[in-house]
Structure 1
Amino acid sequence: MENMNSKRILIGNGCLVTRDKDNPYIENGAVLIEDGYIKEVGQDSVLKNKYKDIEYIDAAGKVIMPGYINAHNHIYSAFARGLNIFGNHPTDFLEILEGTWWKIDRHLDLNQTYCSAIGTYMECIRNGVTTVVDHHASYKEIKGSLFKIADAAAIIGIRTCLAYEISDRDGQDKMKEAVSETCDFIEFTEKNPNPMLKAMIGMHASFTLSDETIAYCKEHNYYGKGYHIHVAEGEYDNLDCLEKYGCSVVERLNKKGLLGPKTIAGHCIHISEKDMDILKETNTTVIHNPESNMANAVGCPDVLKMIDKEILVGLGTDGYTNDMLESVKVANILQKHNSRNPDRGFLEAAQMLFQNNASIVSEMFGEQIGILKAGAVADIIVVDYNPFTPMNEANVDGHIIFGMSGALTDTTIVNGRVLMKNRKLVINNTEELLENCRDASAELWRDLYER
């Protein structure tokens, strides 16, 4: 794919946080971008002298680092912001699904899906999020929905991996239509290789997937894609599995051949140590979504034990926010609170966001992502953060987690393209896009209220 921004750009004169263990921190560093990739990393003075007649972004008093990665998101939930569904007073997670999320996805048309993606991706760029792994559902209009989200991603310029949430909850015809959309989209991404766009097979959760549906999904996995599925997010998922199949959700998914190194298991809250061992043995990736888990009152996963067992645990938002620094802050304190151990949580939260998320999407996209080194993709942010305490290689994560927020992102670059500079989006028709989002969300709300 031809890069839309093939010119050279040098970003320098800032503190450089590379996430490269061989060269992790440069006090006054610079990064050279060329054709969507990082060409060189080094001292600002050296690179400025070496590359004189190219665009220079001065990051004085700021921090230059890799863009953030959201490993589990739901674009379809975007228009819930500010929405109050009358008479909806859930008392448990299943009532939340039935009264809010499934109600929304049953009313989303293609334009509303597209606008949900536009709004989400724009806000991601504003918050320094450069890669999003999304798990979508819009059961009113399934066909073409993943393509609409991909169109939105291309317009905004973000890197994304998409999956459709296959489920039995709206009947077999809708389930098969969701599988068809999944197959069409995967085939499109395979026949039109694009370093900015990937696909997975999305599945809702064990309790809305019959054995027959799981078999149907596997039969249609023509390209050997990984599965993106919610696992034991609420207690009901496991109780349903025990009653119907006599085993835990993790055991059932393993027996069905859904687990493995390409699969993402979202949440994994109500799982046993035996389940964890299965996840480890199968090299299945787990994604922690702390704010969503707290908001839904579903409990807290034992992320610390999973990480101790060397399970690859990444960090997502589950659609709750588009600010990954908000998510990592909560991950830190939630694990401390849950374990009642003030000495745990911080290192693990940082590992999930900065190290594990990078590993997950690098494998997914076949590129080096989440690192500033020669050969890596040029997904870079500049953060307006000039600390009043010393910052260095040893304590930089403490500054990021306790001192920064997504709103401090000054510049966002994805695939070598400047998408935001000086806090202003460099995207055509920004106001028109936002107005379209407001109109589409208002239309959805009217439809929900009328019913």
Structure 2
Amino acid sequence: MLITNGKLIPWGSEYQVIPEGLGLLIRDGVIQKIAPQNELIKDYPDEEILDAGGQYVMPGNICAHTHFYGAFSRGLGIPGEPASTFTEILEKLWWNLDKALDEDGVRYSALVCLVDAIKHGTTTLIDHHASPNAIDGSLDIIAETINQAGLRASLCYEVTDRDGAEKSEQGLQENLRFIKRIQNRDPQDALLRAHFGLHASLTLSDETLSRAEELCPAGIGFHIHAAEGMADQVFSLETSGKRVVHRLDQFGILRPESILAHGVHLDQGEIERLAETQTWLTHQPRSNMNNAVGVAPIEDMLDAGMRVGMGNDGFSNTMWLEWKEAYLLHKLYHRDPRRMGGYTVTRIAVDNNAALVTELFDGLQVGQISEGAAADLIFVDYHPFTPLTGGNLPWHILFGFQESMVTATIVAGKPLMYQRQLLTLDESAIAARALEIATETWKRFEEIATQ
């Protein structure tokens, strides 16, 4: 198809805003040609035209760490006294909610997140799943929802020892089975990739980490939480005499394909080791604030040469809101308005996230508008009342753009939403069924939580 009548925000190496006049020729899921739209219409008269109507056309947002399985936590009451520490939050909420999920819960917690992503312009998601009473085939269920929605994603299962050796092994095998499925490169899975999922050092024995290293195929990265709370460091030091990153390094977890989430409590030695191994780390400021775990030294990490991206840890797929929280949080924490500038935020959330997904998809350029890049695009109905340029673009997004302004979402050249109408998912039907399933999930949660 042809995309016409749009003002382009291409991202890439040079931030710029291109006035109307250029069109995009989309074929086979990529941007095949960028040229004056009148020329494209003349040269390709039989192509379907998708009219941007004068809106901004830009790459879709990327979420580098999320949890679909946590969707049913919205509004959930937790029995007993409120959790006062991060460990208590895990024990009272997340480790009971994941046990309450059955196959329907896995499916619909994913579907409601995918509706949210499409509506708000997030086109790629890297998920970290847990459902200890529905492990086998759980990644296939989520993959089916991804393929139905038409989004781009990487999936994994969160291996942990907290539910016993049998379920730990099931988790290991679920990762391995799904990785093999993705490596078969079935055309239906063209938009899917896989990581080898692990929970965190504080719930993983040396034996399980060694088993994961043994099973994980070459070229596949791990996806694991690291030093999100101080308890992770305490456990690692008490059981191994090593800090978290160095313990994980011992088992081959650190590699250019791997993602460590959070890194709130890393020291300089750990930061330097992650930079040396070119292991990815993702920043989730909304979650860190919600869990009161602290503020990750993101700017120090970048200065050390670490590769840092941005996720949402299961919060809403409104990634511009995650940008805004990152921009403000570090200023407040350091009491310094110079910290975490707009260019730093976009370096993490745009440039680095794009590089991460491009590597994951075998070099297919994702996250920019250029010839040969993936046609993962959004239309944004933004009407600036001050000049908008490449130089001040980050601040317009931080202080002007809203997720409600996204009117179209396109992935691999396929429109998933146009003029705010979802085209691949039925939001009303999904929400109605999810409400029924969430109600049953909450009942099981309460039974588990009060045992």
Question: What TM-score, normalized to structure 1?
Answer: 0.95
Between the aligned partners of 2:25 and 2:15, the Cα distance in structure 1 is: 15
Please say if residues 16 and 30 of structure 1, whose CA atoms lie closer than 8 Å, have aligned partners that are also in contact: no
Between 1:101-110 and 1:335-344, the stretch displaced more is 335-344
Q: Does 1:342 align with 2:337?
A: yes
Other-structure match for 2:131: 138
Match of 2:156 among 148, 163, 182: 163
Other-structure match for 2:382: 385
Seen in structure 2, the aligned counterparts of structure 1 residues 111 and 355 have a Cα distance that, compared at 3 Å, is: same
Paired residue secondary structure (2:24): strand
Deviations 1:268-318 (A, max 9, x none): 010111111011111111100000000000000010111111211000000
Match of 1:274 among 269, 272, 276: 269
Between the aligned partners of 1:238 and 1:450, the Cα distance in structure 2 is: 31
Match of 1:325 among 309, 320, 324: 320
- Identical positions, percent: 39
Deviations 1:85-125 (A, max 9, x none): 22251000000000001100011111110111111111100
Deviations 1:197-250 (A, max 9, x none): 000101111111110000111111134411101010000000111111111101
Other-structure match for 2:354: 358
Between 1:94-103 and 1:422-431, the stretch displaced more is 422-431
Q: CA deviation at 1:447?
A: 1.8
- Gap runs ≥5 in structure 1: 1-8
Number of residues of Structure 1 aligned to a counterpart in Structure 2: 443
Between the aligned partners of 2:267 and 2:324, the Cα distance in structure 1 is: 26
Between the aligned partners of 1:309 and 1:226, the Cα distance in structure 2 is: 22
Paired residue secondary structure (2:5): strand
Please say if residues 88 and 99 of structure 1, whose CA atoms lie closer than 8 Å, have aligned partners that are also in contact: no
Q: CA deviation at 1:45?
A: 3.9
Between the aligned partners of 1:111 and 1:206, the Cα distance in structure 2 is: 29
Match of 1:14 among 1, 6, 20: 6
Between the aligned partners of 2:219 and 2:169, the Cα distance in structure 1 is: 18
Please say if residues 61 and 385 of structure 1, whose CA atoms lie closer than 8 Å, have aligned partners that are also in contact: no
Other-structure match for 1:182: 175
Please say if residues 26 and 43 of structure 1, whose CA atoms lie closer than 8 Å, have aligned partners that are also in contact: no
Q: Does 1:218 align with 2:210?
A: no
Please say if residues 69 and 132 of structure 1, whose CA atoms lie closer than 8 Å, have aligned partners that are also in contact: yes
Question: What TM-score, normalized to structure 2?
Answer: 0.95
Deviations 1:358-401 (A, max 9, x none): 00011011111001111111100001111111112211221122
Runs (4+) of structure 1 moved beyond 6 Å? none
Between the aligned partners of 1:88 and 1:411, the Cα distance in structure 2 is: 44
Other-structure match for 2:77: 84
Other-structure match for 1:98: 91
- The AA in structure 2 aligned to 1:351 is R
- Gap runs ≥5 in structure 2: none
Between 1:421-430 and 1:233-242, the stretch displaced more is 421-430
Paired residue secondary structure (1:164): coil
Paired residue secondary structure (2:167): helix
Q: CA deviation at 1:128?
A: 0.3
Please say if residues 3 and 25 of structure 2, whose CA atoms lie closer than 8 Å, have aligned partners that are also in contact: yes
Paired residue secondary structure (1:89): coil
Seen in structure 2, the aligned counterparts of structure 1 residues 438 and 96 have a Cα distance that, compared at 3 Å, is: same
Mapping for residues 390-429 of structure 1, pairs under 5 Å: 390-427=387-424, 429=426
Between the aligned partners of 2:385 and 2:301, the Cα distance in structure 1 is: 36
Other-structure match for 2:227: 232
Paired residue secondary structure (2:306): coil
